[in-house]
Amino acid sequence: MNIPSRPPALWSSWLLVLGTSVMIFGLALVLAPGLAREGFSLLVYADAHRISNFGAEAVAYVSLVHAVLGAVMTGWGVVLLFTIRGLFSRGVRLGWQIVAASVAAWFIPDTAFSLWSGFWQNAVLNLILLVLFAVPLAATYRYFHETRA
C-alpha cells in the first residue's frame, strides 16, 4: 500500500501565498477598475492614462474585460487554496497535478497570445509568476512521484 509522504511545509506555504496573491489580484481587477486600467496602461504603454484616452466605449469594454479576468482569477485562486491546503499538503499526487496542470493551462495560451499580439510585457509578468510556481512544484516533484511503500 502506498502511503503519501507530506511535502515540506515551506512549499505548501509558498504555494498558499501564491494562490492567495492570485485571488487578491483578481479581486483588485474587479473592485478597483480604474487602478487596474492605469496599471495595465502603465505596463503596456508606459503611460498610466493612455487607455483612458481610448474613448468612453473602449474604456468601458476594457473595464469589463478586466472584471471578467479578475473574477476568473479569483475563482482559480480559490481552487488553488483548497487544493493546496487539502490534497497537496497531505502529499496526495492529484494535488500536485491540479496545481501544475492549472498553471500550465493558464501560462501557455496567455503567454502565447501576449507574444503573438505584441504585448510582450504581459508575457514577462507571466514568466515571473510561472517561475514562482515552478520553484515549489520542482522542489516537491519527488514527494509526489516516487513510489512509496
Residue 129 has pLDDT above 50, yes or no: yes
Q: What is the mean pLDDT of residues 114-120?
A: 96
The owner of cell 494562490 is 19
Q: From CA 139, how far away is CA 128, in angstroms rounded?
A: 17
Domains of the chain, residue spans: 9-142
Task: Give the tens place of pLDDT for each residue, 25-41.
Answer: 999 999 999 999 999 99
Q: Over the chain, what is the mean pLDDT?
A: 94
What is the per-residue burial (b if ≥16 Cβ within 10 Å, else e) of 68-81? ebbeebbebbebbb
Task: Give the tens place of pLDDT for each residue, 56-95.
Answer: 999 999 999 999 999 999 999 999 999 999 999 999 999 9
pTM of the predicted protein model? 0.89
* Predicted pLDDT of residue 146: 80
Q: How deeply is 142 buried, as exposed, middle or buried, from its count of CB atoms within 10 A (0-12, 13-18, 19+)?
A: exposed
